[in-house]
Amino acid sequence: MKTVLINCSPKKRFSASAYFLFLQRLFISGEKVNGTLRTPADHARILEQLRDTQAVVFCLPLYVDGIPSHVLRFMEEMERFCRENDLRFSVYCIANNGFIEGRQNEPLMQVFEHFCSRACLDWGGGVGIGGGVMLNVTRILFVVDIVLLLLNTVLSAVNTGSFFPKEAWISFGENAALLLYFNLGVLFYLGRMGGCIRNRTYSGKKYTRILIPSFVFIVFADIFFVIASLFEGGLFRGWLARKAAEEQ
């Protein structure tokens, strides 16, 4: 069985969509083909992969309560392509948004359902994820934890001759467990949808989020944007001001 997984994020690297697609791949068996959809130049290559596939997984960010415009352009072309070539396969969707409520992806899911109806494809359902940006940060923190563990191991080996610094391993285990906990909802629902993709059955629309309280999430989100705006300079350029439009 062949599954085409399409990363629809416009970002070149470190996108949350790439992270969730990586996790989804872990739960799918058979031939897996990756596609990246950033510009119209990517359309033809992805469409060719659809000729003999049994399932397609779209992974995309939520933009203004809906599907990003560059993905809509592809979907219009994909509808025509599937109709002209009489293709039929199942379509699944992983949507993520920066707000904490995964349910905010509901309009996007409905649009995908209507797309499948128009293109005569089987709507397989999807997973809507809240706190996508912050979940993406957890994978970076996990890599940092591994690097710190390796450094501690080297230092321990040099200083004491032991390759097993107990405290460093305990600290790593605690951090890894915490990061895993944040991702549990996502892992559960992507695992569940992976089973449906394998069997080409309907998975329903499921919504999950990073597993921290909303009021804590908001504080961290605000801190993130203050730091980002500080480094990028927006903080000093009328950060929250009501900017007037220049006459064009």
Q: Does 218 bind other proteins (CB under 8 A)?
A: yes
Distance from C-alpha of 66 to C-alpha of 78, rounded to nearest angstrom: 18
Spell out the residues 6+ positions from residue 78 whose beta carbon is closer than 8 angstroms to its own.
47, 50, 119
C-beta of 116: minimal distance to other proteins in Å? 9
Q: Does 68 bind other proteins (CB under 8 A)?
A: yes
C-beta of 15: minimal distance to other proteins in Å? 8
Q: Does 245 bind other proteins (CB under 8 A)?
A: yes
- Give burial (CB, 10 Å; 0-12/13-18/19+) of 203: buried
Segment 104-123, which members bind other proteins (CB under 8 A)?
104, 106-107, 110-112, 114-115, 117-118
Per-residue binding letters, 70-89, with other proteins (x by CB under 8 A): x-xx-xx-------------
Q: Are 157 and 168 in contact (CB under 8 A)?
A: no
E strand or H helix at 104, and its extent?
none
Contact with other proteins (CB under 8 A) among 31, 48, 174, 232: 232
Distance from C-alpha of 201 to C-alpha of 204, rounded to nearest angstrom: 9
Q: Does 30 bind other proteins (CB under 8 A)?
A: no
Spell out the residues 6+ positions from residue 74 whose beta carbon is closer than 8 angstroms to its own.
8, 37, 40, 42, 43, 46
Q: Which residues bind other proteins (CB under 8 A)?
A: 9-11, 15, 61, 63-70, 72-73, 75-76, 99-101, 103-104, 106-107, 110-112, 114-115, 117-118, 214, 217-218, 221-222, 225, 228-229, 232-234, 237-246, 248
